[in-house]
A = this chain, B = another copy of it.
């Protein structure tokens, strides 16, 4: 007996992410995914009942990975700015090192593949970010502004910078990261 191969799922995910980065969600076919994953089309359907299900599973997987990275090495008991920077760097790290995932997640929000439920679950996952921002406001370290605005502002700069950097083939250097952080911090600090 040959057991269902766990690594195959990774292959499929990797292949899909790559294709989506290249051609967008509009430009992928199950055939191409299979070929890129070096398996037969039929095999795809052993692991995922349909294209929809594959995309949804990948979406969930990417979201989980994102959240894992967001809170890595985050110490809630450390001083606020330390924690803030840790997470800020993690957000950047995810966008940089998992660019394909990031692109894929972005594309999914306007797609017929992802169900509203899946989206809702994704929204839940970033709740801890709200907590962090709230603490910053309580300690008078962040501007006393709607948390939602603070968060989208903080995140937006990262997203846009990384996206355009990678698209234009620009490397992102350590000093640049510090500069970008300063831009963000000067913006949000009280």
Contacts and interface: CB of A to CB of B under 8 A. Distances in A.
Nearest to A182: B143
Contacts of A183: 143, 145, 149-150, 153, 187-188
Report the copy number of this chain in the oligomer.
Answer: 4
A73 interface: no
Interface residues of A, number: 47
Nearest to A111: B24
Contacts of A176: 146, 149
A128 interface: no
A54 B161 CA distance: 30
A62 interface: no
15 contacts: A21-B110, A25-B110, A106-B106, A107-B110, A109-B167, A143-B183, A145-B179, A146-B179, A149-B161, A149-B176, A152-B163, A152-B165, A156-B160, A159-B160, A185-B187
